[in-house]
Copies of this chain bind each other. A is one copy, B any other.
C-alpha cells in the first residue's frame, strides 16, 4: 500500500519501523502516529535509547553474552559455578535459561548454529573461544543447550568432536514430554526418546 506522506521525515520514520521483522507499512504508520501523539520528551527518549544501543551495548569477552562492560555480570559473579559452561545459540537463550532460575553455572554464546543453508559454518560461530576456555582446564561440564533440530544436533556433534579429548563431561538438555502435555498430543519421536531415556520415579 502506498501512502501520500505529508512529510519526508515522517515517511523515513515509517520506513525505519517497517524495516523491523513482522512490522509492515500499515503497522509502522500506526506506531509512528502513536509516537507523535506523545510528549516531545518521550519521543526523544525513545530515539536516544535506540541510538545508545549502537554505542553502548558490548559483548562479554569471555562468554559473548550482551553487557555494558568488558565482562558480563554472569561471568563476573564469583558465586556462580565457573566450572560448568552452558553452550547456547543466542543472547536470548541466556535470558530464557536465567529466567528458569535453575542454573548456576556460566554460559557461552555461539552466535548461531552450524547451518549450511544459511551459509553459517563453524568459523562463523564463537567455537574457537569455547575451545580455548575448555582447554584452559577447570571445566568439569559442558552443557550443549542448542535447538533440538538437525542443525542443533550437527553443531552439538561438531563441538563434541572438537572438545571431547579433554577432561570435561558433555551433556545436553533432557528431551521428553513437556510438563502439562498429554501423551496423545506428544509427537512420536519425542515420546519414543522419552521412553528410551526414562528416569527413576520420585515422589515429590
The stretch of A9-17, A136-144, A154-162, A189-197 that contacts the partner chain: A9-17
Distance between A47 CB and nearest chain B CB, rounded to angstroms: 3
Report whether B95 and A57 are in contact in the complex, using a CB–CB cutoff of 8 Å.
no
Interface of A: prevailing SS: helix
Distance between A119 CB and nearest chain B CB, rounded to angstroms: 15
A51 and B43 contact, Cβ closer than 8 Å, known pairs A20-B31, A22-B27, A66-B6: yes
Q: How large is the interface on A (under 10, 10 to 19, 20 to 34, 35 or more residues)?
A: 35 or more
Residue among B2, B10, B46, B65 making CB contact with A66, cutoff 8 Å: B10
Residue among B6, B47, B57, B66 making CB contact with A48, cutoff 8 Å: B47
The stretch of A32-40, A79-87, A178-186 that contacts the partner chain: A32-40
Report whether A46 and B57 are in contact in the complex, using a CB–CB cutoff of 8 Å.
no
Q: How far is the CA of A52 from the CA of B43 in the complex (A)?
A: 9
Report whether A10 and B57 are in contact in the complex, using a CB–CB cutoff of 8 Å.
yes
A61 interface contact, C-beta 8 A:
no
Distance between A49 CB and nearest chain B CB, rounded to angstroms: 5
The stretch of A67-75, A127-135, A168-176 that contacts the partner chain: A67-75
Q: Which residues of B contact A4 (CB under 8 A)?
A: 95, 98-99
Report whether B36 and A57 are in contact in the complex, using a CB–CB cutoff of 8 Å.
yes
A30 and B36 contact, Cβ closer than 8 Å, known pairs A9-B49, A95-B6: no
Q: Which residues of B contact A94 (CB under 8 A)?
A: 6
Q: How far is the CA of A54 from the CA of B37 in the complex (A)?
A: 10
Residue among B23, B41, B92 making CB contact with A29, cutoff 8 Å: B92
A50 interface contact, C-beta 8 A:
yes
Q: Which residues of A line the B interface, CB within 8 A?
A: 1-10, 12-13, 16, 19-23, 27, 29-36, 40-41, 43-57, 65-68, 72-74, 90-92, 94-96, 98-99
